[in-house]
Amino acid sequence: MRLTITRFAVSFTVIIWRHVLKKFIHNLYVEFLIMEKQHSYSQVKGVSTGTTILAVKFNGGVIIGSDSRASMGESYVSSKTINKLIQVHDRIFCCIAGSLADAQAVTKMAKFQLSFHSIQMESPPLVKAAASIMRELCYSNKEELQAGFITAGWDRKKGPQIYVVSLGGMLLSQPFTIGGSGSTYIYGYVDAKFKPDMSLEEAKQFSINALALAMGRDNVSGGVVHLVVITEPGVKHIVVPGDKLPKFHDE
């Protein structure tokens, strides 16, 4: 009887300490997010990735892509070479759109949280776990953040996956998705051309064409095309220079 009570007391103590530790870590990374945002904002004040981003599943993997232009307002191009595809774990990436300071703060915090989660689970994190962390960060700070995200990747449980995290923290799973200011010009194209179980080459051409069309029409999208191909064997980065992109009209 005395041994049973002792075991119960130990188990109860462990549960309490786990709860306290979890709460402490949550508060720690929220504070870190605030400080990181302030630091990032001081460095890239007013810079927006006013942009075109996309993700598409194909047979065996997923492709995410974006343009590379960052702007201040609608007239000043602050950078032509921003990489908007951020690796948060081995086979998990995020595309960013909106405030660059907010996006950098959230993705840095997501990396930290995913690394901690991976150590706890003693295995690579699931893509949905990464998307859920992004959703929690966005929802908890929805009054301040001005950034949206596409989270995409591959894991052993569900294979290739794409999740959209909105400004307010809504989480949706999609076979393909587009976002950013340039996306308004290509909804018709992607709706007409997307098909399930595309090959890798078909998905690459679909992505390049969609981004080229958006960059040709949207004045705050431009530069080069960045693509990341994520499959079970690994990750491959592809850069398509602006002068190598297909042209669909006189620019």
Full-model pTM: 0.79
pLDDT tens series, the chain, 251 aa: 555 555 555 454 545 555 545 555 555 555 555 554 454 444 444 455 568 999 999 999 999 999 998 777 656 666 778 889 999 999 999 998 878 778 888 888 899 889 888 888 889 999 999 999 999 888 888 787 778 899 999 999 999 999 998 877 789 999 999 998 899 999 999 999 999 999 999 999 999 999 999 999 988 888 999 999 999 999 999 999 988 999 887 65
**Contact (CB, 8 A) for 191 and 174:** no
How crowded is residue 9: how many other Cβ atoms within 10 Å of its Cβ?
10
Q: Which two tokens stand for residue 68?
A: 């590379």
Q: What is the spatial distance between Cα 168 and Cα 150, in angstroms, rounded to a whole number?
A: 13
Q: What is the pLDDT of residue 145?
A: 77
Q: What is the pLDDT of residue 27?
A: 54
Q: What is the pLDDT of residue 192?
A: 96
Q: What is the spatial distance between Cα 104 and Cα 194, in angstroms, rounded to a whole number?
A: 30
Q: What is the spatial distance between Cα 182 and Cα 240, in angstroms, rounded to a whole number?
A: 18
Q: What is the pLDDT of residue 32?
A: 52
- Backbone φ, ψ for residue 124 (5° rounding): -60, 145
Catalytic residue of the set 4, 6, 51, 231: 51
Q: What is the pLDDT of residue 163?
A: 97
Q: What is the pLDDT of residue 43?
A: 46
Q: What is the pLDDT of residue 184?
A: 93
Q: What is the pLDDT of residue 45?
A: 47
Instruction: Please name the residue that has the structure tokens 């991976």.
Output: 118
For domain 2-244, the CATH class is alpha beta
Q: What is the spatial distance between Cα 56 and Cα 210, in angstroms, rounded to a whole number?
A: 11
Domain-wise residue ranges, the chain? 2-244
Has 51 been annotated as catalytic? yes
CA of residue 195 relative to chain centroid, distance: 23
Q: What is the pLDDT of residue 40?
A: 45
Q: What is the spatial distance between Cα 65 and Cα 46, in angstroms, rounded to a whole number?
A: 23
Q: What is the pLDDT of residue 17?
A: 53
